[in-house]
Amino acid sequence: MVAPIVQYKNVRKAFGDVEVLRGINLDITPGEKVALIGPSGSGKTTIIRLLMTLEEPSSGVIEVNGENLWQMKKGNKTFPADEKHLRAIRGDIGMVFQHFNLFPHMTILENCMLAPTIVKKKEKATVRATALEMLDKVGLADKVDLYPSQLSGGQKQRVAMARALMMKPKVMLFDEVTSALDPELVGEVLEVIRDLAKSGEMAMILVTHEMDFALDIADRVLFLNEGVIEEEGHPEEILVNPKSERLQEFLSRFTSSR
Amino acid sequence: MGSIADISLVLLSGLKITLIVLILSIIFSTLIALIAGLSRVSNNWLVSGFTGFYVEIFRGTSLIVQLFWFSYALPGLFNIHLGSDVWVAVLAISLNYGAYMSEIVRGAIQSVPAGQTEASIALNFTGFQRMRYIILPQAIRMMLPEYGNYIIQILKATSLVSLIGLTDLLYYGNIYRSTHLSEAPTVYILILAVYFLLALPLILLTRKMEKVAKKGVVHG
Ligand SMILES: Nc1ncnc2c1ncn2[C@@H]1O[C@H](COP(=O)(O)OP(=O)(O)O)[C@@H](O)[C@H]1O
Ligand SMILES: [Mg+2]
């Protein structure tokens, strides 16, 4: 057995009085592609935001490479993680957002170059070469000097992916990255993710409503409902032969639409 | 029409003080606004609380009263001497306008979408780097138009410094009028004209900054 790269151990998250995650247990092995499906409001975004350190769990433990993300040890005492601890660990995690969140005051190329040069302090010329290569890979070689506002949604999302990839994360999180796009632009973005999934040793957690896509690229599918993982397994098992009535009902909404 | 030339010459000797106070006040109020604006969005409640106190004190009282305080009350009460009158004027104007302008800094920082911060956390920037490379550059574009308006207001505020004895434009105008009472209208028309000429480049600059701002804040 390979040691998991990410582990959730009985993770709970409440916003005020509302508990949105109610005991999540989840192991992700290096390179594994996991699709996370479930109705809106079931807590999918929250699960990955906890790993990206954008939210803090109310209880439970999240480990990355066996290191406790939200707590640190000094001697034999544990403390809440500080910024330094979080930064040391989250370097292995990357994220692509539903609404791109590109930096509007920078060109596409600058968007991709900033973090490697500033955060990793790599040499500019090297970073530039890598960024151009990366942008070429996502099909935007001719757009590198444009600003985000000059791109279509699909192009913006491909830039966002190139930007995240520049940091060479071991785990990449995708939060419904196609749901803010016009239908005709979804394909080009999924294509890039598919290539990544097929070629990479990078683990991925994909929150998605694209069931055919999940079936195609995922090693495992998780069905989240009201803050708990209700069913999980091989994509065929979950998406083609769902057991629970709730999952069947959930999936019927998607199959009926095509 | 010889008097117009005479008056202009007299006013000119006050122009130097007006310009010095203006330029120094712009520089210091900008610095104060940036520092205070950043302090107000700080997570440290002591820092943000103290800055909030400063801002409300200086916004809540008038500039003239502050000028008198720095000039007469502080030295008399606490034996605090702030140096030459020029520095007293610059300090009062800068603290006053810095307080107002810190609010546009704070507002602009807070109106940068949360997604920008989240994306930069995901890329593992430090808190300082996030502010320096992502948040502030966008916030500054948003504040430019209002900033320009405040700069023009600072110019107008410099005319108050004659009240604490500084020999600025208005001071020399008043001196001249007191000895040539019949020429009062000409004196004040000329004073208006000089202030307007000073404001003109600032107005044009503000226009330009508005254009930059419009270009800069499209969401990515
Ligand atoms: N910052 C927040 N404050 C309060 N409630 C939140 C916050 N973020 C998410 N929630 C709530 O948590 C629940 C789960 O949200 P989310 O994880 O976004 O679900 P999903 O991505 O599956 O649609 C929702 O009911 C949502 O309203
Ligand atoms: Mg969501």
User: What local confidence, expressed as pLDDT, does residue B181 receive?
Assistant: 86
The pair phi, psi for residue A102, each rounded to 5°, is -70, 160
Domain boundaries, chain B: 2-215
Q: Express each pLDDT in A13-31 by its tens digit.
A: 999 999 999 999 999 999 9
Q: Residue A178 Cα, ligand 2 centroid: separation in angstroms?
A: 12
Inter-chain contact A53–B123, Cβ cutoff 8 Å?
no
Q: Which helix (H) or strand (E) holds A67?
A: strand A67-68
Q: Express each pLDDT in B113-144 by its tens digit.
A: 999 999 999 999 999 999 999 999 999 988 98
Q: Residue A21 Cα, ligand 2 centroid: separation in angstroms?
A: 13
Rounded to an integer, the average pLDDT of A147-151 is 95
Beta strands in chain B (DSSP E): none
**Residue A3: band (very low, low, confident or very high) from pLDDT cuts 50, 70, 90:** very high
DSSP state of A74: E
Q: Is B43 on the interface with A (CB under 8 A)?
A: no
For ligand 1, whether the C-beta of A242 sits within 6 Å is: no
User: What local confidence, expressed as pLDDT, does residue A258 receive?
Assistant: 44
Q: Is B125 on the interface with A (CB under 8 A)?
A: yes
Rounded to an integer, the average pLDDT of B35-54 is 94
Kindly list the residues from chain A whose CB atom is less than 8 angstroms away from the CB atom of residue B118: 52, 54, 97, 101
- Please give the Cα distance from A29 to B27 (Å, whole number): 56
- Please give the Cα distance from B159 to A204 (Å, whole number): 64
The pair phi, psi for residue B102, each rounded to 5°, is -65, -25
Inter-chain contact A119–B118, Cβ cutoff 8 Å?
no
Q: Residue B155 Cα, ligand 1 centroid: separation in angstroms?
A: 50
Place of tokens 């350190």: A53
For ligand 1, whether the C-beta of A41 sits within 6 Å is: yes
Looking at the structure, give the CATH architecture of the domain made up of residues B2-215. Answer: Orthogonal Bundle (1.10)
Rounded to an integer, the average pLDDT of B41-50 is 93
User: What local confidence, expressed as pLDDT, does residue A1 receive?
Assistant: 74
Rounded to an integer, the average pLDDT of B170-187 is 88
Asked if pLDDT for residue B220 goes beyond 60, the answer is no
Asked if pLDDT for residue B72 goes beyond 90, the answer is no
**Residue B219: band (very low, low, confident or very high) from pLDDT cuts 50, 70, 90:** very low
Range of weakest confidence among A24-33, A206-215, B71-80: B71-80
- Please give the Cα distance from A40 to B80 (Å, whole number): 64
Do residues A207 and A34 lie in contact, with contact meaning Cβ atoms separated by under 8 Å? no
Inter-chain contact A102–B122, Cβ cutoff 8 Å?
no
Q: In what side-by-side order are the strands of the sheet with A220-225?
A: A93-96, A171-175, A203-207, A33-37, A220-225, A228-233
> Which residues 161-220 on chain B approach chain A with CB closer than 8 angstroms?
216-220
Q: Express each pLDDT in A153-186 by its tens digit.
A: 999 999 999 999 999 999 999 999 999 999 999 9
Task: For ligand 1, atom 26, name the residue with the nearest CA.
Answer: A41
Structure tokens at A99: 């609404």
The count of other CB atoms within 10 Å of the CB of residue A207 is 22
CA A56 to chain centre: 17
Ligand approaching nearest to the C-alpha of A40? 1
Mutate to test the pocket of ligand 1, among A15, A207, A208 (most ligand atoms within 8 A of CB): A15
Q: How far is CA A150 from CA A28, A103, A192, A211, in A?
A: 37, 13, 20, 31
Asked if pLDDT for residue B84 goes beyond 90, the answer is no
For ligand 1, whether the C-beta of A94 sits within 6 Å is: no
Domain boundaries, chain A: 6-256
Q: Express each pLDDT in B1-10 by its tens digit.
A: 558 888 888 8
Picking from A93, A104, A118, the nearest residue to B133 by CB comes out as A118
CA B143 to chain centre: 14
Specify which residues A171 forms β-bridges with: A93, A203
Interface contacts A/B by beta carbons within 8 Å: 75
Rounded to an integer, the average pLDDT of A45-67 is 97
Top residue of A83, A90, A93, A103 to mutate, by most chain B CBs within 10 Å, is A103
Nearest ligand 1 atom, CA A21: 14
Do residues A95 and A48 lie in contact, with contact meaning Cβ atoms separated by under 8 Å? yes
> Which residues 89-118 on chain B approach chain A with CB closer than 8 angstroms?
113, 115-116, 118
**pLDDT averaged over every residue in chain A:** 94
Task: For ligand 1, atom 17, name the residue with the nearest CA.
Answer: A43
User: What local confidence, expressed as pLDDT, does residue B183 receive?
Assistant: 87
DSSP state of A238: I
Task: For ligand 1, atom 4, name the residue with the nearest CA.
Answer: A15
- Please give the Cα distance from A108 to A151 (Å, whole number): 9
Q: How far is CA A33 from CA A17, A179, A185, A228, B16, in A?
A: 33, 19, 23, 20, 71
Q: Which helix (H) or strand (E) holds B12?
A: helix B2-40
Q: Which CATH superfamily groups domain A6-256?
A: P-loop containing nucleotide triphosphate hydrolases (3.40.50.300)
For ligand 1, whether the C-beta of A44 sits within 6 Å is: yes
- Please give the Cα distance from B98 to B154 (Å, whole number): 10
Structure tokens at B57: 């004190």
CA distance B139 to chain A (A): 10
Kindly list the residues from chain A whose CB atom is less than 8 angstroms away from the CB atom of residue B126: 83, 87, 119
Do residues B116 and A101 lie in contact, with contact meaning Cβ atoms separated by under 8 Å? yes
**Residue A255: band (very low, low, confident or very high) from pLDDT cuts 50, 70, 90:** low
Q: Express each pLDDT in B142-154 by its tens digit.
A: 898 899 999 999 9
